[in-house]
Structure 1
């Protein structure tokens, strides 16, 4: 390692340390920990052609803007020379600058790949390639672990590929995997299994195998520093991610959430809702680990990405606060400075081309300042658990990928993405009530509790549910839980075998079976107790056993309620989630959900009435509540809040609207695109 250019006497070192402690109280390390203050940071993009002075300036800018954490992509192609020797000098400049300004670095492994590969490969090709990566990790970790600024390692940039690679190493690992996971040829009843989900199951395990392999390689040379990974395209690839398995070798979980790449299911006015849902999926997946939004879009995308746009300062503020409200320990922007070449050249940055702060950087700085000022408050803040969770099965998404094809005429329910859209309709409806709602994979929910009174699980169009989950759901309901089921949930089992053709495994729990599904049309109505719920495409008819009918089509039951043990199941075998989303009006849908959500009376705070385009998430810190309220409605909103446990005294912590009213009561005025952070004592 070269001698650090900024070497100073011991007295000067103490002065620098004191200065940093003043700048970043209780969070000098920029750490990602459960009880740490959420931290804002940015990617510093390092590439040949940059001078030491430029690099030093970027780290100075980070410090000046309250950003004590950064990411650096560690390009092997910029370190390893053609003769096999290594030259780390370009990245030494970055780490020396980070040391100088007290910035902690998450270093992203980026082994050699093609020049046009902006995201990096997701799996090695063969044994020789694996050996090359092994050598790269040894060279990288042994050199850079000496820097004080090194905080940890990002194992791979954005794991998740959508398909099993067709190469030598994947085939080798698949053959090994098959020995313990060989697919069945027929069901227990003797029906042939003509389609199966073997490839998708392997891809999930293959992702985990490679990530754990990288983690183990790093640990050969560095037993101390943080290990992290950032999944991406969560609404498309979530079934590929086995988060509980990853928890065994990670220090924290992360994600990439770029609207222009990853939010294709949403319109521009829904990007903050998408960020909230993305955050909830990662929060659940992180388990007991801390999590951080590792990549947030920082600037304009011109020719890269799917949807060209530039975030506003207000959107930057909304995205940061909505992730923090989901217990994120902060966010890292992609990126501080723009890269000079490649498909993303001149894009994505928080700085302009003169290295001056954009309005987006100033917005992030303002959020960081509020976090620093209220360090103790936000360090201990935890999201209020409403007891309401959307439950999904990986098999449902795999089944949709195997079975769904766009139709003519086009019906959303027949196209890939319908399951996620159905779930998101429930998420949006509860958000408009101001109620927190979780999103969990089956393996992330605790089915071993003694009592589920006051808890609600929702299976929204989960078309494939493994037979092993029948007992889990029966246990949940029998012990007092409530289950809402809609759409084609449980149409298939884990082998894409139709469960309703033979003895329906959920017949006892649901209190009936399906007689048939009929295509009705794009939108139709399910009439329930003077409410008409919009539904989409298929209407299921129920043959009742123990359940009571809640709605009819003529004289045929199309919705039911079944008492089971101490709990109950509400079943609407029509796509009411998709219907509400297609209609773009959650009024009746939300009213029905509120009537079925018996636990809403236990929520500490919610909106007095559902508000279209509004979001609220609530945290608890000590004896105080923290509400994050965001107005995406496009107009000024007069908001009343219902407190269910007595009156609360408000204190305005943050507003990004210059003429925002002082908070004097539970009745608020909030402007379009405004974000309010209120502490209630």
Structure 2
């Protein structure tokens, strides 16, 4: 269980940049915020040049006045450390602080996040500004907490400055101790890559065919994560020493960063920036019935695994755009409210909209906030006002509740990072996680995302009746034993192709596939093929028991579907294994494609391909998974169900309508919509982009 935001009442707020506006606007801005029921603002994360206009000369007067004005109007403040945007005097005087491309060419001043974490000079200058800010602002009554930096590893998550190569070597020395052990772990005997001096070792660099050593590439990502956390520690140590009464967080969930470890070691809780329209512009235009903005719930599930109750530091309120790249369309009426409740449904107990007023200058002058440039009333202001009124009314009833799910999608950082370079397992991951989450969503079955890591043990897994671990190419003996104990106790686990054949260095094991999962699944693989070029996916048909199924369901289960991306040909080793699906085409027609092994009170399933929506649908039926409201509420596919429960066990059922059209539901028991206070039974509706939160009556 991760660290959570602790609060008595739901907190709503907005990101505000006093340095962008004439001071004459501040008072009216803060008055309007309070009238809209906002309680908190975030400031200063990009203001280093204001705080320290030249090296060693500090000026906090502008923010002193802004903080005093916010406090007069009863607004609390999250203070940002400004280390994501070093000022021009700094990068000019100390060019070694700049990040570099893989070819060693430095990035230049003029954007943001152009520094590297390894520069001792940059760490020194960051410590100076954070210490000065902490001393100056520690006693201001408006400040309740600090945001460290801004979006670690956003925009760029690789680092190739000279300081990074040096730091990587030191990291490797601590990890391996000797070059002999490094050479062994990296398999440098291949292609005569053996290192004989530490000076020969670097981060990955540009090589022929863009094929760096895969074990080096995996360690590089581990190093970047550790180095980022170490950089954050420079700031958190100072703030905890000088301002121990303030909480610390940061906003993120970006690449090459163990956000769990960052939070466990450095923060009080984790925060996230939620822009659901990103899920629409990167959507496959050929996908049938895509989740679109609803897919953002998958990201929120990942955040919830870091902090079960978290803060949304930036909630999308308008269209988003950078002058030469990002182009997010305008939210339709009702979507801003829908997305706010989407965040809350998944565990957010504090939400800040981005931003109060749209910037009139700079790269983000098309990244619109609640207010437009003209500062006149608009529909986003009206919608935010409704949200503020509702959340103030719901108050303490919202916060502290835990999201409840009986299904978990498992993953781990090593396989995530290894899969970026190694496309054999990596190319399967997105399809499988997407198919599972999509079909669970459309079946109204809440799901968690769980990162398997140190500290996640049997008690954590036993919360779930069913877990999916699609393609863990790297599977340690310890993890396999953990999953075996989970299954023996009654749990069900599903694996996919490319499971278990690597160790933690990314080296292939000299043992039958699927490695340490073979005994648990009761199988081995007798052959396999990647699906590429003229090699097409084999067709698969479900077989095995169909007891209790209607004739139509039996026919549907028998229909054929393609086994995508990769095909493992399975051989059964144990009598407890049943063949649940078989290939019907290709040279391996008639061979098992899916098996189930009964182990103790549970089951271990293996599917020899990436998961498609078709096979997930059939598996959900075969496994008997049902929505937790199946016996009292009928929901259409366009509505997401999320369940949050308080310490007393009272459940609030969030119904989120992602369709522009009205959604029809049927309720078999009397329930209260806690937003409107309306009591429902029988047929009811949810408006387009509307939300209901249902609570069953005491007599239900």
Q: TM-score normalised by the shorter chain: which range applies? A: 0.7 to 0.9
Specify whether residues 607 and 206 from structure 1 end up closer, same or farther in structure 2 by C-alpha distance, changes over 3 A only: farther
Specify whether residues 136 and 114 from structure 1 end up closer, same or farther in structure 2 by C-alpha distance, changes over 3 A only: closer
> Is 1:278 the equivalent of 2:278?
no
Give 3-state SS (helix, strand or coil) of 1:449's partner: helix
> Is 1:147 the equivalent of 2:140?
yes
Tell me the distance in 1 between the aligned counterparts of 2:80 and 2:661: 42
Give the conservation status (yes or no) of the 8 Å contact 1:456–1:481: yes
Residue of structure 1 aligned with 2:226, choices 202, 205, 219: 205
> Is 1:548 the equivalent of 2:578?
yes
Aligned to 2:101: none
> Is 1:331 the equivalent of 2:302?
no
What CA deviation, in whole Å up to 9, does each residue of 1:238-280 have, x standing for no partner? x522414422321121112224567764479734323311111
Task: Give me the TM-score of the superposition, normalised by structure 1.
Answer: 0.82
Tell me the distance in 2 between the aligned counterparts of 1:124 and 1:445: 27
Aligned to 1:134: 127
Give the conservation status (yes or no) of the 8 Å contact 1:488–1:575: no
Residue of structure 2 aligned with 1:166, choices 160, 164, 170: 160
Tell me the distance in 1 between the aligned counterparts of 2:185 and 2:591: 31
Aligned to 1:517: 528
Tell me the distance in 2 between the aligned counterparts of 1:623 and 1:397: 35
CA RMSD in angstroms, aligned pairs only = 3.2
Aligned to 1:67: 38
Aligned to 1:497: 507
Structure 2 unaligned segments of length 5 or more: list them: 89-108, 194-212, 544-553, 584-588
Give 3-state SS (helix, strand or coil) of 2:327's partner: coil
CA drift at 1:677:
2.2
Tell me the distance in 1 between the aligned counterparts of 2:159 and 2:186: 32
Tell me the distance in 1 between the aligned counterparts of 2:476 and 2:280: 29
Residue of structure 2 aligned with 1:402, choices 417, 421, 434: 421
Q: Which moved more, 1:261-270 or 1:357-366?
A: 261-270
Give the conservation status (yes or no) of the 8 Å contact 1:467–1:494: no
What CA deviation, in whole Å up to 9, does each residue of 1:319-376 have, x standing for no partner? 1111111121131122111223211125321102222343223323322322221223
> Is 1:297 the equivalent of 2:325?
no
Aligned to 1:113: 86
Tell me the distance in 2 between the aligned counterparts of 1:557 and 1:127: 57
Aligned to 2:170: 176
Specify whether residues 438 and 414 from structure 1 end up closer, same or farther in structure 2 by C-alpha distance, changes over 3 A only: closer
How many residues are treated as equivalent by the alignment?
613
Aligned to 2:209: none
Q: How does 1:513-592 map to 2 (within 5 A)?
A: 513-519=524-530, 525-529=539-543, 530=554, 531=557, 532=559, 533-546=561-574, 547-553=577-583, 554-576=589-611, 579-580=612-613, 589-592=616-619
Tell me the distance in 1 between the aligned counterparts of 2:189 and 2:457: 30
Structure 1 unaligned segments of length 5 or more: list them: 1-31, 406-412, 581-585, 642-646, 656-660
CA drift at 1:151:
1.2
> Is 1:679 the equivalent of 2:672?
no
Tell me the distance in 2 between the aligned counterparts of 1:166 and 1:263: 32
Give 3-state SS (helix, strand or coil) of 1:569's partner: strand
What CA deviation, in whole Å up to 9, does each residue of 1:660-681 have, x standing for no partner? x965325433343222222222
CA drift at 1:54:
1.1
Give the conservation status (yes or no) of the 8 Å contact 1:323–1:330: no
Aligned to 1:29: none
Tell me the distance in 2 between the aligned counterparts of 1:401 and 1:453: 30
> Is 1:631 the equivalent of 2:657?
yes
What CA deviation, in whole Å up to 9, does each residue of 1:409-447 have, x standing for no partner? xxxx875xx513421321221122222110011027742
CA drift at 1:310:
1.8
Tell me the distance in 2 between the aligned counterparts of 1:122 and 1:284: 29
Aligned to 1:363: 383
Specify whether residues 482 and 278 from structure 1 end up closer, same or farther in structure 2 by C-alpha distance, changes over 3 A only: same
Specify whether residues 548 and 294 from structure 1 end up closer, same or farther in structure 2 by C-alpha distance, changes over 3 A only: same
Aligned to 2:517: 506
